[in-house]
């Protein structure tokens, strides 16, 4: 079977909307994929602000934004289809939406981007609300990309995604994954104070000095001692990590350097905890993706931290680095369409694997 799908991903770093047009082929019990087209459409200042401030809106205004953002997503898909001459080639759209509230302890998660509005704009079948069923079943609803990692990229033993939040997966039985710590969202907030959109290549961080007492405070936060499965909401970075960095009275360069070391240390610590969890994997290849994989200084610190664990950190070609999550959202949509499990309970802590996602069938031709 062959499926041609557009996957959409909006990450917590608010840098833009990732769109992927991918082909998935299934045969003999194995899956293959190819990214045929991919783009990132940056958010306007207005949209970035609206998404960032969504959690502070009254309920009516929040729901109106949910609808408006769905129509916006549908319009961006139409623009993507026209730009790449994909008319009549797309069979399905799978949209992650933009996460606002994520409270799995109360069995609730919310992503902006109304699927009905996307379907109305595009006239195509749409899968949305990919995390909701897992959370309803008692899971963390995160991470959800491991299903794609296992079935599409099984040659790696570990997967590290460095986005607004960094998360890690271990390819084994059971498959284990969890959120590590805030990453790009906080690094970008610091870089913004120097008039930069982000710290290109980690050059600013590399010129700073680690503040030991600040690093100790970051690493002592309760979340890091909690057992997995576990997941983080965006506000852990914005409301906990960032204020700690700011209250330390250090320069932005030193804050960036200390935060970078914090990410590298927590990643190494997470690999150690996964290695201590049986059964272990003998595959020590770690695939690093997400915007943070272009942060050469961070990757250098990761390689140094993981060297003693004999880990081989692999940064793949640019399309996979940038668009892995959008690719896997597309794949999760395919599995939902096929009525097959697309979320691992071993990763999220739910009471069972599940077939997550709401399906909006679009319009008749």
pLDDT digits (tens, 9 = 90+) for 215-249: 999 999 999 999 988 989 888 999 999 999 999 99
| 3-state SS, residue 244 | helix
- The rounded Cα 353 to chain-centroid distance in angstroms is 20
The whole-number pLDDT of residue 284 equals 85
- Separation of alpha carbons 164 and 42, rounded Å: 15
Give, in order, the Cα–Cα distances in Å from 221 to each of 214, 217, 235, 246, 288.
Answer: 11, 7, 14, 16, 25
Residue 8 belongs to a domain? yes
224 with 194, same domain: the answer is yes
State yes or no: pLDDT of 309 exceeds 70.
yes
Residue 277 confidence class, pLDDT cut points 50, 70, 90: low
Residue 236 belongs to a domain? yes
The whole-number pLDDT of residue 228 equals 87
State yes or no: pLDDT of 296 exceeds 60.
yes
State yes or no: pLDDT of 318 exceeds 90.
no
171 with 307, same domain: the answer is yes
The whole-number pLDDT of residue 222 equals 97
| Mean pLDDT, residues 105-131 | 97
For residues 279 and 24, the model is more confident at 24
Could you tell me the two tokens for 198? 């982000």
180 with 273, same domain: the answer is yes
Separation of first and last alpha carbons in the chain: 23
Residue 316 belongs to a domain? yes
231 with 123, same domain: the answer is no
State yes or no: pLDDT of 278 exceeds 80.
no
Residue 159 belongs to a domain? yes
Could you tell me the two tokens for 104? 């799995």
| Mean pLDDT, residues 284-297 | 93
Give, in order, the Cα–Cα distances in Å from 24 to each of 21, 87, 333.
Answer: 10, 18, 11
168 with 70, same domain: the answer is no
The whole-number pLDDT of residue 172 equals 83
The whole-number pLDDT of residue 56 equals 95
| Mean pLDDT, residues 123-147 | 94
Q: What is the CA radius of gyration of the chain?
A: 20
- Smallest CA-to-CA distance from 348 within 162, 156, 109, 126 is with 109
Report the CATH number that the domain containing residue 237 is assigned in CATH.
Answer: 3.30.420.40
Q: Which residues contact 101 (CB under 8 A, 6 or more apart)?
A: 55, 108, 109, 110, 233
176 with 289, same domain: the answer is yes
Q: What range defines the domain where residue 47 resides? A: 2-141+324-360
State yes or no: pLDDT of 276 exceeds 80.
no
User: What DSSP letter does each residue of 50-90 carry, written as one string?
Assistant: HHHTGGGS-HHHHHHHHHHHHHHHHHHHHHHHHHTT-TTT-
State yes or no: pLDDT of 365 exceeds 60.
no
By CB neighbour count within 10 A (0-12 exposed, 13-18 middle, 19+ buried), where does 302 fall? Answer: buried
182 with 110, same domain: the answer is no
pLDDT in tens, 16-68: 999 999 999 999 889 999 999 999 999 999 999 999 999 999 999 999 999 99
271 with 307, same domain: the answer is yes
274 with 345, same domain: the answer is no
Residue 228 belongs to a domain? yes
The whole-number pLDDT of residue 279 equals 60
The whole-number pLDDT of residue 142 equals 83
| Mean pLDDT, residues 174-186 | 92
Residue 280 confidence class, pLDDT cut points 50, 70, 90: low
328 with 316, same domain: the answer is no
Residue 71 belongs to a domain? yes
| 3-state SS, residue 97 | coil
Dihedral of CA atoms 61, 11, 261, 194 in degrees, nearest 10, equals -70
Q: Which residues contact 333 (CB under 8 A, 6 or more apart)?
A: 5, 7, 92, 93, 94, 127, 130, 357
- Count how many domains the chain has: 2
48 with 78, same domain: the answer is yes
The whole-number pLDDT of residue 234 equals 82
* Average pLDDT of the chain to the nearest whole number: 94
Q: Is 253 left (phi over 0), alpha (psi -120 to 50) or beta?
A: alpha
Residue 365 belongs to a domain? no
37 with 169, same domain: the answer is no
- Separation of alpha carbons 181 and 346, rounded Å: 20
State percent of the chain over pLDDT 90.
Answer: 83
Global pTM?
0.84
pLDDT in tens, 79-88: 999 999 999 9
Residue 337 belongs to a domain? yes
- Separation of alpha carbons 67 and 61, rounded Å: 10
Beta bridge partners of 5: 22, 92
The whole-number pLDDT of residue 364 equals 59
Could you tell me the two tokens for 245? 């960095």
State yes or no: pLDDT of 266 exceeds 60.
yes
């Amino acid at each position: 079977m062959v499926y041609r799908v557009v996957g959409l991903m909006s990450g917590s770093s608010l840098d833009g909307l990732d769109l992927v047009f991918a082909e998935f082929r299934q045969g003999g019990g194995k899956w293959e994929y190819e990214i045929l087209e991919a783009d990132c459409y940056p958010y306007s200042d207005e949209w970035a602000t609206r998404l960032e401030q969504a959690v502070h809106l009254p309920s009516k205004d929040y729901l109106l934004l949910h609808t408006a953002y769905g129509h916006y997503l549908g319009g961006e898909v139409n623009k993507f289809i026209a730009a790449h001459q994909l008319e009549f080639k797309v069979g399905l759209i799978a949209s992650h939406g933009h996460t606002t509230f994520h409270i799995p302890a109360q069995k609730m998660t919310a992503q902006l981007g109304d699927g009905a509005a996307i379907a109305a704009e595009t006239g195509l079948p749409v899968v949305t609300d990919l995390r909701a069923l897992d959370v309803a079943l008692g899971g963390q609803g995160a991470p959800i990309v491991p299903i794609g990692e296992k079935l599409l990229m099984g040659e790696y033993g570990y997967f590290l995604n460095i986005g607004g939040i960094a998360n890690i997966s271990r390819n084994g039985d059971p498959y284990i994954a969890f959120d590590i710590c805030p990453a790009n969202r906080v690094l970008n907030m610091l870089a913004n104070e120097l008039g930069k959109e982000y710290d290109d290549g980690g050059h600013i961080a590399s010129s700073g000095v680690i503040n030991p007492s600040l690093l100790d405070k970051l690493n002592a936060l309760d979340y890091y001692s909690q057992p997995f499965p576990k997941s983080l909401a965006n506000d852990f970075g914005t409301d906990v990590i960032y204020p700690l960095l700011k209250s330390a009275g250090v320069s932005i360069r030193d804050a960036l350097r200390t935060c970078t070391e914090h990410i590298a240390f927590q990643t190494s610590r997470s690999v150690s905890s996964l290695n201590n969890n049986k059964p272990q994997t003998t595959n020590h290849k770690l695939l690093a993706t997400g915007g943070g994989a272009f942060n050469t200084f961070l990757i250098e610190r990761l390689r140094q931290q993981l060297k003693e664990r004999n880990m081989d950190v692999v940064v793949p070609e640019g399309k996979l680095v940038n668009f892995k999550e959008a690719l896997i959202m597309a794949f999760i949509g395919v599995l939902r369409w096929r009525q097959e499990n697309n979320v691992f309970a071993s990763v999220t802590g739910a009471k069972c694997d599940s077939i997550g996602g709401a399906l909006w069938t679009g319009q008749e031709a």
